[in-house]
Amino acid sequence: MTVRVAVAGASGYAGGELLRLLLAHPEVEIGALTAGGNAGTPLGQHHPNLLPLADRVLTDTGPAELAGHDVVFLALPHGHSAAIAAALDERTVVVDCGADHRLNDPSAWTRWYGGEHPGTWPYGIPELPGARERLRGSTRIAVPGCFPTVSSLALAPALAAGLVEPDAVVVAVTGTSGAGRALKPHLLSAEVMGSAAVYGVGGAHRHTPELVQNLSAAAGTPVKVSFTPVLAPMSRGILATCSAPLADVVDTGAARRTYLDAYGDEPFVRVLPEGQWPQTSATLGANTVHLQLVVDPDAGRLVVVGAEDNLTKGTAGGAVQCMNLALGLPETTGLPTAGVAP
């Protein structure tokens, strides 16, 4: 089976990571590579690491360039995917790495992104309850945000099992690539190196409604989420510390059994051995989430720490994983579980 794939937004970080993974996918033939302002330039100017594609010239992003492919990945800013997807054949598998189709609630979309809600597509975290079945055979897929991927997987089993109250706190440290490739003063190396800074504090980050949506679905009841992202001096990776009050007396061993039952058969989610804590370096370039948990008896809280590469499992790897499911391919095809170290 040969799958012809196009990538829109190929000059950005997410687009580049998609292409890195697709180059290693045994069933994929890479077709159109498109960009906005970078159209007309060679891909190697933006991603010199992608040597096999370095001489390919980026074209404009539009339905005409993307038509005729089996799969189209949209690695575009929010608000740009819906119109392009609507112009593509319904049989084409369209995987949206942006925010346009993640939220179920139209009012939440309007509040956080503005404008008319573009509609909801099957949501791309296969490890969440029921998600894998909805993704199989789908021709429209919404890839989650990078923060909701690791944080939802960190807390969903505890909420689903009733181990904790529906009141979560998430503090997640991230690298600068999560903000995209556009030039922004606060992301200059002189501003970032040697410093850590919070942003989007007090429920102001756009991934908050996505976290609420995912965790409420897992709990079967509305979940409050306090989310604080922290920008750290690294290029990629997320380390999320997630906690919630215990619903009843439970020890760490019982909580671990809940997580091992939930993720024991998952190829990309690893509950680490006791005493070993996640670190972003261990997930670099891998389509994995590493988890560890502990009950804090004095605080009466469950604490779960998760690590991922925001560009791999948090975006592009998750997108390829969903493509595999949609096409009926083995879910793990072309996806690395070994990170790059040191």
Strand 28-35: give its sheet, edge to edge. Answer: 59-60, 28-35, 3-8, 71-74, 93-96, 140-142
Residues 6+ apart with CB under 8 A from 303: 241, 242, 243, 293, 294, 295, 296
Closest CA to 231 of 190, 186, 279, 168: 186
| Upper half-sphere CA count for residue 161 (Cβ side, 13 Å) | 18
Return phi, psi of residue 187, to 5°.
-105, 0
Report pTM: 0.95
Residue pair 249/191 in contact by the 8 Å Cβ criterion? no
Told to judge if 242 belongs to the known catalytic residues of this protein, a careful annotator would answer no
pLDDT in tens, the chain (342 residues): 799 999 999 999 999 999 999 999 999 999 999 999 999 999 999 999 999 999 999 999 999 999 999 999 999 988 889 999 999 999 999 999 999 999 999 999 999 998 889 999 999 999 999 999 999 999 999 999 999 999 999 999 999 999 999 999 999 999 987 766 665 667 666 677 788 989 999 989 999 999 999 999 999 999 999 999 999 999 999 999 999 999 999 999 999 999 999 999 999 999 999 999 999 999 999 999 999 999 999 999 999 999 999 999 999 999 999 999 999 999 999 999 999 998
- Please report the pLDDT score of residue 195 as a whole number: 86
d(CA 294, CA 308): 19
Strand partners, 290: 270, 307
H helix or E strand, kind and range, residue 84: helix 81-86
CA angle (85, 89, 95) in 5-degree steps: 45
Would you state the structure tokens that stand for residue 136, as one six-digit string?
């199989």
User: Which residue among 97, 146, 242, 322 is the active-site one?
Assistant: 146
Which residues, at least 6 apart from 184, have a Cβ–Cβ distance to it below 8 Å? none
pLDDT of residue 78: 86
Find, among 180, 174, 131, the residue nearest to 153 by Cα: 131
pLDDT per residue over 231-282, tens digit each?
999 999 999 999 999 999 999 999 999 999 999 999 999 999 999 999 999 9
Span 285-309, pLDDT tens digits: 999 999 999 999 999 999 999 999 9
User: Shortest CA distance to 180 belongs to which of 59, 310, 306, 72?
Assistant: 310
